[in-house]
Amino acid sequence: LKGHVVHDSVFSTRKEANSVLFEYIEIYYNRIRRHSANGWLSPEAFEQNYLKSLEGSNLHNSV
């Protein structure tokens, strides 16, 4: 976090700092971070795998 957002940054207000930190953590980091609950996949990779499995089951069921 320090190397990506805080280092060399000057924030005018605490609100601005909170906004930047929130955006980094919630929008960027949590979407790429691997989670043990997802089989050590990132949430985005897990969702892509899930959607692909749904597509495959829909094709299989329609035949």
What's the confidence (pLDDT) of residue 1? 72
- Residue 48's pLDDT is 92
CA-to-CA distance for 57 and 54, rounded, in angstroms? 5
Q: Which residue range forms the structural domain that includes residue 30? A: 2-62
HEC letters along the chain: CHHHHHCCCCCCCHHHHHHHHHHHHHHHHHHHCCEHHHCCECHHHHHHHHHHHHHHHHHHHHC
Task: Tell me how many domains the chain contains.
Answer: 1
What's residue 27's pLDDT? 84
Mean pLDDT by 10 residues, the chain (63 residues): 78 93 88 87 91 79 55
Q: Write down the pLDDT at residue 15.
A: 96
For 41, which DSSP code? B
